[in-house]
Copies of this chain bind each other. A is one copy, B any other.
Amino acid sequence: MRIGVLGTGMVGRAISGKLAELGHDVRVGSRTASGDTVVFADAAAHGEIVFNCTSGAASLDALGAAGDLAGKVLIDVSNPLDFSGGGPALFTDTTDSLGERIQAAFPDALVVKSLNTINCNLMVNAAAVPGDHVVFVCGNDDGAKARTRELLGEFGWTPERVIDLGDITAARGTEHYLMLWLRLMGVVGGPSFNISVAS
């Protein structure tokens, strides 16, 4: 599948590397082209599916530079993290989310929020942590969520381990969970952990 990955940080590298390993036709986009990296617009134009792996604060600008996203599945992995105050915080409040802001700014893109609740190594290899821990998807388009779930399956996230939280406003939940994740990281002693849901 042709996939564009926006962002060359740890998350973008983990996702693009794994997708290429799986045999997908991947182009990685950045603000400026260099080496194997093309500009955002070229990566987005290439992809039937586009991953937003840019930093949360830069995401709207990066997507604005990505050209026409209409009809594309846009898997948003970003988090609205704000370190400007010293400690980690979010630049959204609980009536809003970055996922929603992206969907609002690009209304013809099919935004699916996913994978933003776990470390990038775990994103692309569900078995990196033992157990039946879960990932979440949310978004307004069921077809886009189904295509996202297929890719998640290739990363090891079997169907029963992918929880569909509903429309894109559920990004308020998965993004604000980061405030707990950051504390758990301190207790666990690193980012290699995840949650499961018992009921």
A interface with B by C-beta (< 8 Å): 85, 87, 89-90, 93-95, 129-133, 138, 163-166, 169-170, 172-174, 176-177, 179-184, 186-188, 192-199
Contacts and interface: CB of A to CB of B under 8 A. Distances in A.
A186 B166 CA distance: 9
A180 B174 contact: yes
Q: Is the interface of A mostly helix, strand, loop or mixed?
A: mixed
In the complex, which of the residues A133, A183, A184 has the most CB atoms of chain B within 10 Å of its own CB atom? Answer: A183
A187 B165 contact: yes
Number of this chain's copies in the assembly equals 2
Contacts of A198: 129-133, 193-196
A31 to B, nearest CB: 27
A195 B192 contact: no
Contacts of A95: 85, 87, 89
